[in-house]
Amino acid sequence: MNNYELGEKGERPWGWWRVEEVGENFIKKTISVNVGGCLSLQSHKYRSEKWEILEGSAEVTVGENVAVYAEGQTVEIPVGAIHRLRNAGNKQLRVREIQLGDVLDESDIVRYQDIYGRDQNVFLADMDGTLTPARLPMTDDFAGIFLDFIRKNIFYVVSGSDLKKVREQMPKFILDEIAGLFCSMGNEFYVKDKLIYKNDFNPGADLLGRLENYRKNTKYEGQLFDNYIERRQGMLNFSVLGRNCSHDQRNAYKKWDDQHQERVRIAKELSELYPQYDISVGGNISIDIVPHGLGKEQVAAKVREKYPCAKIFFIGDRTKEGGNDYSLAQALLKLGNAEVVAVDGPEDTLRFLKKK
């Protein structure tokens, strides 16, 4: 998909660009940068670039490397590399830019820093109850609209589930397009299928024994199921009901719990007994237990560090106090230039995305 036209020109705060040649999976531009001008620190999801210095002196950043290039020299910019171009001389800088890729579009810019204040939005969203029905796959209708949105925007998913469960609920073509996936309350981070980092957590025998007692002494009269203490990277997920239940049995327990508030009571008691942990009600049947600092709130600092100028939107269905989206919502608001969008399900999420 090539959305450039021959002769197309764009005026920018730093100068201008003009399309000189258009072909299959490539274009050539002339870029003119004013004295003192500097393009934003940016990356591209779909294209690589090659810069040929035609006139002037160029300071080029590619990843951690910063170097000055003179007339006649060239620079290669791989797909996804964070890069920047600055006029380092005292006359106009002219560069020939060759873009290569299956998708060539002016909107394919992820902007990290910009001296001209051109802010870019970054979106974060919970998965269960926000992008998908609880413990069910994303619907085809949602996926089609969502795919178009994430191709045009920077979008991260922040889930309490591990990677295996995320894959059960979200199509691979969606996971391949998002900017990144924070699993297990942010204790694992993936870009596509590549693990970037992970945190460890080894709960004590006392806590595990107490969870067993809650399970044994529940007042819920329905059937109980296996997989009720689930160890995930950096956290525990506890469910009196057990996660190996059907969707109908999950709904039955949630209906009972909404009336009897068993999970709220357990989370409150555990929080008083184990102040070193953050304990919150998550999903429809479970409780999330993480050491301080290893809950979803850790995502806020990581994303803000990467996008210091962007406005960050966080979409979640449990953003109120006691919910497992609350800590991230509050951490983002504390850092500033952020907005929390509380939703009641995927349909609410779609309504918000269609407005952006």
Side-chain half-sphere CA neighbours of 252 within 13 A: 12
Between CA 202 and CA 132 the distance in angstroms is 30
Rounded Cα distance between 324 and 338, Å, is: 18
- Domain 205-291 matching CATH 3.30.565.10: the answer reads no
Name the burial class of residue 72, with classes exposed (0-12), middle (13-18) and buried (19+) by CB atoms within 10 angstroms of its CB.
exposed
Distance CA 281, CA 325 (A): 9
Six-digit token pair at 176? 């391949």
What is the per-residue pLDDT for 19? 97
Q: Which two tokens stand for residue 143?
A: 């996926």
Measured CA to CA, the distance from residue 181 to residue 125 in angstroms comes to: 10
Active-site hit among 105, 108, 114, 128: 128
Active site residue 128: yes
Q: What are phi and psi of 77, to 5 degrees?
A: -115, 105
**Assigned superfamily of 122-199+294-355:** HAD superfamily/HAD-like (3.40.50.1000)
Q: Which of 293, 294, 290 is nearest to 274 (CA)?
A: 290
Return the CATH class of domain 9-113.
mainly beta
Q: Which residues have CB under 8 Å from 88's CB, separation 6+? A: 57, 58, 59, 68
Segments of 13-120 assigned E as strands: 15-23, 26-33, 41-43, 47-55, 58-62, 65-69, 74-77, 83-87, 93-101, 110-113
The Cα 156–Cα 186 span in angstroms is 11
Position 120, amino acid? Q
Determine the pLDDT at residue 119.
Answer: 67
Query: What whole-number distance in Å separates Cα of residue 92 and Cα of residue 81?
Result: 25
126 is catalytic: yes
CA atoms within 13 A on the CB side of 50: 10
pLDDT at position 308 is 78
Segments of the chain with pLDDT less than 70: 119
* Residue 277 contacts residue 289 (beta carbons within 8 Å): yes
Tell the residue number behind the tokens 């509050």, with chain if given: 330
Q: What is the pLDDT of residue 219?
A: 96
User: What is the SS3 assignment for 146?
Assistant: helix
Task: Please identify which of the residues 126, 162, 257, 325 carries the catalytic annotation.
Answer: 126
Contact 254, 135 (CB under 8 A): no
Helix (H) or strand (E) holding 210: helix 205-216
Q: Where do the structural domains in the chain lie, given as residue ranges? A: 9-113, 122-199+294-355, 205-291
